[in-house]
Amino acid sequence: MTHTRRTPWSDLGTFWTFPNVLTLLRLALILPITYLILENGSLVWITMLVVTALATDYFDGRLARWSHTVSDWGKVLDPLVDKLGAALVVMALIMRGSLPEWFFFAIVARDFIIFAGGVYIRARTGRIVMSLMSGKIAVTGISLTVLAALLQADPPVMQFCIWGTSALLTWSLIRYVFRFTVLVRSAPDITDN
């Protein structure tokens, strides 16, 4: 008799739900947005694509809760697509000279720590950690900073956006680390089985 060893990653539930399709649509929009930013493309097209991407981000989670189709896949995909989108768009703006390089590294370092923490929590407890409101607020800060950079805002406005978003990123990272610490201490370790 053959036994298949189940891992914490073996069952994330149903993949093909409408909310997950919205998340995948957002993923598909990242490359055209990045390309248009790099090529100094039409601000109208960039804005339309970004607004569409933000709408999918707004509606995917709400639709999942409303239709009772919340899945572990969605809990993984949504923040992962957000992180990838933020990194690529900010990198494109850095390459255009619109944002400082350290801002990109601050975003990527925070996102890597949160992602690694989420993977550790999943491996250790079997749970998928949903995004925190502080993370969503930080992503909103990134979006506003990107918008300010695209609109070539005055230097004081850009500095306010960059430093304000950096503070939000730091605050959300502290909240995630605190949450991960509580989860690790309170949940049973499934790796002991």
Residue 73 lies in a domain: yes
- CA pair distance 160, 181, nearest whole angstrom: 32
Q: For the purposes of burial, counting CB atoms within 10 Å of the CB of 23, is it exposed (0-12), middle (13-18) or buried (19 or more)?
A: buried
Residue 23 lies in a domain: yes
Residue 7 lies in a domain: no
End-to-end alpha-carbon separation of the chain, Å? 20
Residue 192 lies in a domain: no
Q: What residues have CB less than 8 Å from 91, skipping those under 6 apart?
A: 34, 104
Residue 143 lies in a domain: yes
Residue 33 lies in a domain: yes
Of residues 137 and 11, more confidently modeled: 137
CATH number at residue 127: 1.20.120.1760
* Residue pLDDT, tens place only, 59-111: 888 888 899 888 888 888 888 999 999 999 999 999 999 999 999 999 999 99
Of the pLDDT bands very low, low, confident and very high (cuts 50, 70, 90), residue 32 is: very high
Residue 8 lies in a domain: no
Give the pLDDT confidence score for residue 2 in this predicted structure: 45
- Structural domain that includes position 117: 18-187
* Residue pLDDT, tens place only, 150-189: 999 999 999 999 999 999 999 999 999 999 999 888 877 7
Cα torsion 61, 79, 179, 191: sign? positive
Q: What is the pTM of this model?
A: 0.84
* Residue pLDDT, tens place only, 125-144: 888 888 889 998 999 999 99
Q: What residues have CB less than 8 Å from 29, skipping those under 6 apart?
A: 49, 52, 53, 56
* pLDDT score of 5 more than 50: no
Total count of domains within the chain: 1
Residue 178 lies in a domain: yes
